[in-house]
A and B are shown apart, each in its own frame.
Chain A
């Protein structure tokens, strides 16, 4: 391993909770019998659950996990987007952290690896999860393959139909993929009965995966929102910090996109105590969780099996319009991120799909990267930022959460 890589790859995960401005409201159980918090013991690996509720500022990353991080392409590059600066006529600097450089093509592998690793050390038959656009499912199936586990993925129907190649990749990694709502779970059947042509939602797919894990003695892999997941993702921000330090740069603005909030939280949280850095969360106008959502307790899944958490949410029964950015269709945002948005530490903005497409095109032509449409929101926000700061140039760091090589049909109507 190169000396540079070894220096950049973190040895610890960072948890933002001890550094929040206000206490993190605890999860609530709405279960009539027993506790949905205790239920987590059955579906979440023990060590993940310990991390979830320990809130230690740092947790050591096991060496086996660091080895797998190296295997999948970490650390990921930090690139100066100077052609984009030129194209925009921007006198500041734009850096991009490229999570699309991992072998699964997104940041999702950062938490899939530790979750599968800890699951594989318990006696389970496999792991189950949901996926929207497919990035999380891809990460899960690979992490399961690398740790010797079987994997089952419930893929939101609209993405299942839009992105057939994702299914092929997941199958190649040994995963079993079904469209959600499916007939394989009680909840899925109930949803299909209500609407046989349901396009599905992440909330429904999560409910199905949790039910399936409970019924099949599997562990459930959590793709976002939960505190432990955001901690695992902190390696993005920690690597960025080290890489900026090596290049002698001080970030002034950090921009990322928000679905559940894990790539964004992982990217900015390690910098949270630096009050000089502006942080901008970019969301989809079609899923306006911060501007139209309510900050209150809500369910993480549509069936309400998992504990309720306090977050910005559009309601767990929210069925989003079928925008292409499947990863941004989730109804809520991670509780820790929600607190920071509510307190004003992190600002949010919304971008429409049309502006995202234009930004992705500019980005492809100036960096060569075909970014994921989710990341396109962050890119569009960064372009807006550069335009707004034409006369006040800043050093902007942008997290590109994944590549869009499986999303090329989005450009279908635009090919010239």
Chain B
């Protein structure tokens, strides 16, 4: 089962983040997802919202570019995440930047909910820049929309288990998984939102998930620049996912 690690760029600071990203890579993460900080990360939970707030002050294009250069040298795929609301003023130059930084693809978590009628055109623009567009779907995405997004794209798909990142709510992983699989067939599905315990990861692995994404659960380690804690957490994840 693939592991994707999410970080907000610039959090807790550029140098520490680069260290965590390298450590994550060394510990076997297949993908790194990097969020562009924005002022209204509305669909994120409290932990990631805080990272945006703080990263807005520390983020710089040059450090991001440098970190990306390091990652691509190691052949690790990096995906950008941005709220479309924060780039809608000039999506063209944003997409060019994402491409120039060396990202493999882009995820826009608010695109299909807040810009539904423009989504197809924007997906084409993203792909036109040579970037993979990673659809973000959740249980609240209607079946017809999931099918349409899956037909429009060829990449892996990010499936949000909960209405917001990093929260805890009662769920039935099995029924979510089965519904996602039924709609998406053999497409690679990466599940995220609220994943932090070995038993959740084990359950998803047994069900047949292709990948998991972890973000909010890392924020404490980042905040305290706690590399040993981060390492042992990821070792625990690896023990269950492999």
Residues of A near any B CB (own CB < 8 A): 17-29, 31, 33-35, 37-38, 40-41, 46-47, 49-50, 53-56
Contacts and interface: CB of A to CB of B under 8 A. Distances in A.
A19 to B, nearest CB: 6
Looking at A17, A31, A54, which has the most chain B CB atoms within 10 Å of its CB?
Answer: A54
Given A41-B168, A41-B169, A53-B169, 15 more contacts: A17-B142, A22-B145, A23-B140, A26-B164, A27-B164, A28-B43, A29-B45, A29-B46, A35-B167, A37-B163, A37-B167, A46-B170, A53-B163, A54-B139, A56-B175
Contacts of B176: 54
Nearest to A49: B170
B240 interface: no
Nearest to A50: B170
Contact of B142 (A19, A40, A47): A19
Given A23-B112, A25-B114, A49-B170, A35 B142 contact: no
B179 interface: yes
A375 B181 CA distance: 42
Contacts of B175: 54, 56
Contacts of A41: 168-170
Instruction: List the 5 closest pairs (A to B, CB-CB), nearest first.
Output: A26-B163, A50-B170, A24-B140, A55-B139, A20-B142
Given A26-B43, A56-B179, A38 B168 contact: yes
A55 B169 contact: no
B72 to A, nearest CB: 33
Contacts of A24: 113, 140, 142
Contacts of B168: 38, 41
B169 A23 contact: no
Given A25-B113, A35-B45, A47-B170, A53 B162 contact: yes
Interface in B100-154: 112-114, 116, 138-145
Contacts of A18: 142-143
Contact of A35 (B138, B145, B164): B164
B93 interface: no
B46 A55 contact: no
A17 B141 CA distance: 8
B142 A22 contact: yes
Looking at A26, A27, A40, A56, which has the most chain B CB atoms within 10 Å of its CB?
Answer: A26
B171 interface: yes
B42 interface: yes
Interface of B: 42-43, 45-46, 112-114, 116, 138-145, 162-164, 167-172, 175-176, 179
Nearest to B142: A20
A231 to B, nearest CB: 13
Contacts of A37: 45, 163-164, 167, 169
13 contacts: A17-B142, A19-B142, A19-B144, A22-B145, A25-B113, A26-B140, A26-B163, A27-B163, A29-B46, A31-B46, A35-B167, A38-B167, A50-B169
Nearest to B170: A50
Contacts of A25: 113-114, 140
Contacts of B42: 28
Contact of B140 (A21, A28, A35, A55): A55
Contacts of B143: 18-19
Given A23-B112, A29-B46, A54 B164 contact: no
Contacts of B163: 26-27, 37, 53
A294 B165 CA distance: 27
A49 B169 contact: yes
A23 B139 CA distance: 9
Contacts of B43: 26, 28
A55 B142 CA distance: 9
A41 B169 CA distance: 7
B145 A23 contact: yes
Nearest to B162: A53
Nearest to B46: A35
Looking at B163, B171, B179, which has the most chain A CB atoms within 10 Å of its CB?
Answer: B163
Contacts of B140: 17, 23-26, 55
A126 B139 CA distance: 31
B145 A53 contact: no
A339 to B, nearest CB: 10
A374 to B, nearest CB: 29
B46 A34 contact: yes
Contacts of B170: 41, 46-47, 49-50
Contacts of A54: 139, 171-172, 175-176
B113 A23 contact: yes
B169 A40 contact: yes
A342 to B, nearest CB: 10
Contacts of A20: 142
Contact of B138 (A21, A26, A49): A26
Contacts of B172: 50, 54
Nearest to A34: B46
Looking at A21, A38, A41, A50, which has the most chain B CB atoms within 10 Å of its CB?
Answer: A38
B147 to A, nearest CB: 11
Contact of A26 (B113, B142, B171, B179): B113
Nearest to B164: A37
B153 to A, nearest CB: 16
A23 B141 contact: yes
Contacts of A33: 46
A100 to B, nearest CB: 33
A196 to B, nearest CB: 37
Nearest to A18: B143
Nearest to B176: A54
A379 B203 CA distance: 51
